[in-house]
Amino acid sequence: MSNQTNPNQTSVGSFEKLFLESISKEKQFQVGEIFTGTVIKVGRDYVTVDIGYKSEGLIPLSEFKNADGEVTIEEGDTLDVFLENIENEDGLITLSKEKADKLKIWDEIAEACENAEVIEGKVVERVKGGLSVDIGVKAFLPGSQVDLVPLRNLDSFVGNVYQFKIIKFNKLRGNIVLSRRAILEAERSELRDKTLEVLEEGCVVEGIVKNITDYGAFIDLGGIDGLLHITDISWKRINNPSEILNLSDRVQVKILKYDKDKQRVSLGMKQITEDPWKDADLRYPKNSKIKGKVVNLTDYGAFIEIEDGVEGLIHVSEMSWTKRIKHPSAILNLGDEVEAIVLEMDKENRRMSLGLKQTQPNPWDVLVEKYPEGTKVKGTIRNVTDFGLFVEVEKDIDGLVHISDLSWSSKPKNPHNHFKKGDEIEAIVLNVDPSAEKFSLGIKQLSEDPWKEIASNFKIGEKVKGEIVKITEFGIFLKVAQDVEGLIHNSEMTVDNPQEAFKEGQEIEATLLSIDAEDRKLSLSMKEMTKEQRNQLSKKQSLQATPTLGDLMAEKLKNNEEA
């Protein structure tokens, strides 16, 4: 009997065991933890999952749909879930796949941050101060950490996948800050070390245009930037590097200078090709005709591009035989195709002087033959100046009547008082100088010089009448004949204040004291002279008029030469 088992004892023991197991099992399932479960049913709204608890758990079907709305789970699949609640009002546990995924991602991110690992993410949108990146959870990428240099436009990064480093992580606040720049700097540093090993002056390398400025372009040679100055981009004239280069262009450049200590590199692109000035003197010899395009206009001339890198200057003085060009824009425009003559070639200093007017016959050479000295011409006054008149004799060719050639008078006339623009006048050709482009005319030469016969027409000591033409502080100028004036000095006046006693235009009488035909001077007096004084003045004139032996010999030699 003693060996028989008591059924009551067995029931009590089994129940106790089951109760203890149940308590133990409940303690193992804590809210807020992640468990592995099996999908036992995929319903219309929920997915039923068994995680080994006494009751199953439900997860909304929406957590298993992709972007296209397709269900991505099947019965029998295993997955990690987050335990939200032990039992709801229906006696079921509440589970979440999304929360489990997020917790797992946060753990992975924490581990990546701790180990300084690289993570991958997709830029989803532009936000204030930077970009929002999806790395499983939302993270922030500051604008300063997007690239090696700060960028103004970040929209081009949206939608792209990049690698990042985590530079700030706070799980409690849900704050993650990323950096793409840290990865680029590490890559650039590694690349720079490799580039510096092979970099040397004179070698040709490939680079990428990284930045363009007014003075040049920065070329990324592989971890190190070099400066390509605007003057080293092309042999031809350019105003801005952007005329030839674009950002991200791949270009071949030559290392001109390399400072290893400062890691500065000067680059050249034109130096890869041959200097066009090398044989320019052979291609464009002196006096040869060239064709080119106007590429620049300055106050002093126009620059003509003959070929890439070879320019010549047409100075304003070489643009017209007849016109006075104040600015080249008067006859040339940017982009004009022109022909010119090579005047001078300086290959060493890369200079070429060109002439535009030399492509046409020189009208000054024709002028010499057409208007020999002494020819009478007619013309129109184009300009009146203080020093004379400019008279148009031929189209665009002016002759100058200097103030000294307006009148035989010893005192030149003021041109503004006697001539005006547009007047038609006659003149005598005095000289044509093609080399200096000067055409000299005279008006007084239309009549004989009145001073040649002044001694025969007037006698010293006699009375002469004339018109007062000017009253000065030292005397009066009296017009006694056409273009002949004499001076009555204050000492020869009969009044104390001639400026009050006389007026211009008044006719008066005076006695002739002296004649200096060579210097064109007459001296007069208003004082009464005795007969003896008059005789003395007459004798003085006679002596001046009597020829000397030297005068007679000179006259005889002159006659012999003419014979």
Assign 256 a pLDDT band (cuts: 50, 70, 90).
Answer: very high
- Mean local confidence (pLDDT), 148-166: 87
Cβ-proximal residues to 433 (8 Å cutoff; 6+ apart), any chain: 439, 440
Assign 553 a pLDDT band (cuts: 50, 70, 90).
Answer: very low
Evaluate if residue 414 carries a pLDDT over 70: yes
Helix (H, G, I), strand (E, B) or coil at 232: helix
- pLDDT reported for residue 213: 93
- pLDDT reported for residue 550: 46
Instruction: Name the nearest CA neighbour of 272 among 237, 306, 235.
Output: 235
Backbone angles phi, psi at 315, to 5 degrees: -70, 150
- pLDDT reported for residue 80: 83
- pLDDT reported for residue 532: 66
Assign 391 a pLDDT band (cuts: 50, 70, 90).
Answer: very high
Answer for the pair 297, 338: CB distance below 8 angstroms, yes or no.
no
CA–CA distance, 399 with 163 (Å, rounded to integer): 83
Q: Give, in order, the Cα–Cα distances in Å from 183 to each of 36, 180, 209.
A: 36, 5, 21
Assign 209 a pLDDT band (cuts: 50, 70, 90).
Answer: very high
Assign 8 a pLDDT band (cuts: 50, 70, 90).
Answer: very low
Evaluate if residue 1 carries a pLDDT over 70: no
* pLDDT tens, residue by residue, 23-44: 444 447 777 777 888 988 888 8
Answer for the pair 133, 155: CB distance below 8 angstroms, yes or no.
no
- Mean local confidence (pLDDT), 331-348: 94
- Mean local confidence (pLDDT), 388-399: 88
- Mean local confidence (pLDDT), 426-436: 90
DSSP labels, 347-390: TTTTEEEEESGGGS--HHHHHHHHS-TT-EEEEEEEEEETTEEE
Cβ-proximal residues to 178 (8 Å cutoff; 6+ apart), any chain: 121, 133, 135, 139, 140, 141, 145, 164, 165, 166, 167
Evaluate if residue 421 carries a pLDDT over 60: yes
Assign 541 a pLDDT band (cuts: 50, 70, 90).
Answer: low
CA–CA distance, 371 with 360 (Å, rounded to integer): 20
- pLDDT reported for residue 410: 61
What pTM does this model have?
Answer: 0.47
- pLDDT reported for residue 321: 85
Instruction: Name residue 521's amino acid.
Output: K
CA–CA distance, 29 with 22 (Å, rounded to integer): 11
Which of 93-97, 489-493, 501-505 has the lowest average pLDDT? 93-97
41-71: burial string, b at 16+ Cβ within 10 Å, e else: ebeeebbbbebebeebbbbeeebbeeeeeee
Give the residue with greater pLDDT, 557 vs 147: 147
All structural domains of the chain: 34-115 (2.40.50.140), 116-184 (2.40.50.140), 199-272 (2.40.50.140), 280-359 (2.40.50.140), 363-446 (2.40.50.140), 451-549 (2.40.50.140)
Give the residue with greater pLDDT, 73 vs 400: 400
- pLDDT reported for residue 4: 47
* pLDDT tens, residue by residue, 102-114: 777 787 788 778 7
- pLDDT reported for residue 401: 92
Helix (H, G, I), strand (E, B) or coil at 93: strand
Evaluate if residue 68 carries a pLDDT over 70: yes
Instruction: Name residue 548's amino acid.
Output: T
Which of 80-89, 427-436, 471-480 has the lowest average pLDDT? 80-89
Assign 2 a pLDDT band (cuts: 50, 70, 90).
Answer: very low
- Mean local confidence (pLDDT), 127-138: 88
Report the mean per-residue pLDDT for the chain.
Answer: 83
* pLDDT tens, residue by residue, 349-367: 999 999 999 998 888 888 8
Answer for the pair 427, 377: CB distance below 8 angstroms, yes or no.
yes
DSSP labels, 394-432: ETTEEEEEEGGGS-SSSS---HHHH--TT-EEEEEEEEE
Cβ-proximal residues to 326 (8 Å cutoff; 6+ apart), any chain: 316
- pLDDT reported for residue 390: 93
CA–CA distance, 429 with 419 (Å, rounded to integer): 19
- Mean local confidence (pLDDT), 536-558: 51
* pLDDT tens, residue by residue, 260-314: 878 888 999 999 988 999 899 999 999 999 999 999 999 999 999 999 889 999 9
Evaluate if residue 186 carries a pLDDT over 90: no
